[in-house]
Amino acid sequence: MLFDAEPVSCQGGRLNYTVWFSGVEDCGNPFRPTAMFSVTLNRPYETDGTPKHEIIGQVYGAYDALRASPLVRGSEAFLEARPG
């Protein structure tokens, strides 16, 4: 499981927070070959672009609860984007 944050056009160039669930082999995903599926936040920003910390914080809460597992990691971008 990979917790990730990447800028994407559908978020107006802002970060898209995604949790990727991966397998070992190629699953046919053109973006991430081993990714079986992902969960992405819906509307993590106000209409003016302000981050909704009450929503984004839930992803970081899940990461904190699961990160001790050897199967869980956070990308460098996800860890750097963590709200203060």
- pLDDT digit string (tens) for 18-42? 999 988 899 888 888 988 999 999 8
Mean pLDDT, residues 42-57: 93
Mean pLDDT, residues 31-58: 92
Each domain of the chain, given as residue ranges in start order, spans 2-81
Mean pLDDT over all residues of the chain?
93
DSSP 9: G
If you search the block for the tokens 């990308």, which residue do you land on?
A: 75
In percent, the amount of the chain with pLDDT more than 70 equals 100
Q: What per-residue string of b and e applies to 29-64 under the rule 16 or more CB within 10 Å gives b?
A: eeeeeebeebeebeebbeeeeebeeeebeebbeebe
